[in-house]
């Protein structure tokens, strides 16, 4: 039987990719999507919104119109997601949260809600990126003590923050594995007479250019050899496909708080 899914924020950049990914997924049935009341896409065909032709399902401004869905996928904004959690809790619905940027306190609110519903908080739903975190842990355990560790990331010219959340998470995974405090060992950019590299440091380098969707590399370098672990995203569909995988997994999960490492069986 197919899992019935609704997409919250379906007219956004991610929302449109999510519609396409849901329609193409064999085990998922797309039953609806939400837009803002002020949106010019109210009561608009979801397929047309995604540019894949009409599918006979219309957008809605009211979550109560989407009660048929079992799993909700939310890529909206922090405020909207926090409202949506309340609604999902009241209506016993599972929620995949792709929205990013929650404060520690807001994450606690999400964790609290997960007592009454299944929730995945997934700031990066790319399967490859989440697998990369596991590879970094394995690599850091094996050679992190004696190699120089540097992280490189590149994104499009419109990105406002640096380094990317994913690059910081890469550093965090490596630092945690090696028992280092990232706040103390991170070096964000170098200029001038910097002196020799300090052994414990984890360096970050950033490029912003053109339409790069997202590239991340971790270097583990020694004298005579260097291991590089790289992930390259070439389209937003990678995040949408990962979100579908998360929604399918969550449809069979008990109430609780999960992340993509749970979805991929990497814990």
Q: Does residue 233 have a cis peptide bond before it, meaning omega lies within 30 degrees of 0?
A: no
Q: Which is nearer to ligand NAD, 39 or 206 (CB)?
A: 39
| Interface residue list for ligand NAD (CB under 6 A) | 9, 11-15, 34-36, 39, 75-77, 80, 98-101, 122-125, 239
Q: Minimum CB separation from ligand NAD for residue 180, in Å?
A: 27
Catalytic annotation on 159?
Answer: yes
Query: How far apart are alpha carbons 76 and 54 in whole angstroms?
Result: 23
Q: Minimum CB separation from ligand NAD for residue 213, in Å?
A: 10
Catalytic annotation on 155?
Answer: yes
- Dihedral of alpha carbons 48, 50, 56, 62, sign: negative
Q: Which residue is nearest to ligand NAD (CB)?
A: 12
Q: Which is nearer to ligand NAD, 123 or 128 (CB)?
A: 123
Q: Which is nearer to ligand NAD, 34 or 251 (CB)?
A: 34
Q: Which of 25, 155, 216, 231 is labelled catalytic?
A: 155
Which residues does residue 203 pair with via DSSP β-bridges, in sequence order? 150, 187
Q: Minimum CB separation from ligand NAD for residue 181, in Å?
A: 27
Q: Which is nearer to ligand NAD, 35 or 69 (CB)?
A: 35
82, 106 contact by CB (below 8 A): yes
Q: How many CA atoms are closer than 13 Å to the CA of 223, on its beta-carbon side? A: 0
Which residues does residue 232 pair with via DSSP β-bridges, in sequence order? 215
Query: How far apart are alpha carbons 44 and 237 in whole angstroms?
Result: 22
- Dihedral of alpha carbons 210, 212, 213, 215, sign: negative
Count helices and strands in the chain by DSSP H and E runs: 9, 12
Q: What is the rounded (10 degree) CA torsion for 37, 39, 44, 50? A: -130
Q: Which is nearer to ligand NAD, 14 or 140 (CB)?
A: 14
Q: Minimum CB separation from ligand NAD for residue 36, in Å?
A: 5
Query: How far apart are alpha carbons 109 and 258 in whole angstroms?
Result: 14
Q: Minimum CB separation from ligand NAD for residue 41, in Å?
A: 8
Q: Minimum CB separation from ligand NAD for residue 208, in Å?
A: 17
CB contact set of 259 (below 8 Å; sequence gap of 6+): 120, 121, 122
Query: How far apart are alpha carbons 21 and 97 in whole angstroms?
Result: 16
Q: Which is nearer to ligand NAD, 98 or 144 (CB)?
A: 98
Catalytic machinery residues = 155, 159
């Amino acid at each position: 039987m197919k899992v019935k899914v609704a997409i919250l924020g379906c007219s956004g950049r991610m929302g449109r990719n999510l519609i396409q990914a849901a329609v193409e997924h064999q085990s998922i049935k797309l039953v609806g999507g939400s837009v803002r009341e002020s949106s010019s896409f109210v009561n608009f065909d979801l397929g047309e919104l995604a540019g894949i032709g009409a599918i006979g399902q219309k957008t809605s401004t009211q979550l109560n119109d989407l009660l048929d869905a079992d799993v909700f996928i939310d890529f909206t904004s922090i405020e909207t997601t926090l409202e949506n959690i309340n609604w999902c809790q009241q209506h016993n619905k599972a929620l995949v949260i792709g929205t990013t940027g929650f404060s520690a306190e807001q994450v606690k609110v999400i964790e609290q809600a997960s007592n009454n519903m299944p929730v995945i908080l997934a700031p990066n739903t790319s399967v490859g990126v989440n697998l990369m975190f596991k590879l970094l842990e394995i690599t850091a355990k094996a050679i992190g003590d004696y190699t120089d560790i540097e992280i490189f990331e590149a994104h499009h010219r419109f990105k406002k923050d640096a380094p990317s959340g994913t690059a910081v998470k890469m550093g965090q995974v490596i630092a945690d594995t090696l028992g280092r405090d990232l706040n103390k060992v991170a070096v964000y950019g170098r200029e001038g007479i910097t002196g020799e590299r300090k052994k414990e440091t984890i360096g970050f380098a950033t490029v912003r250019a053109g339409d790069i969707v997202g590239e991340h590399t971790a270097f583990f370098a020694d004298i005579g050899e260097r291991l590089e672990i790289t992930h390259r995203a070439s389209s937003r569909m990678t995040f949408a496909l990962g979100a579908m995988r998360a929604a399918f997994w969550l449809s069979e999960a008990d109430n609780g708080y999960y992340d993509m490492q749970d979805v991929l069986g990497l814990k």
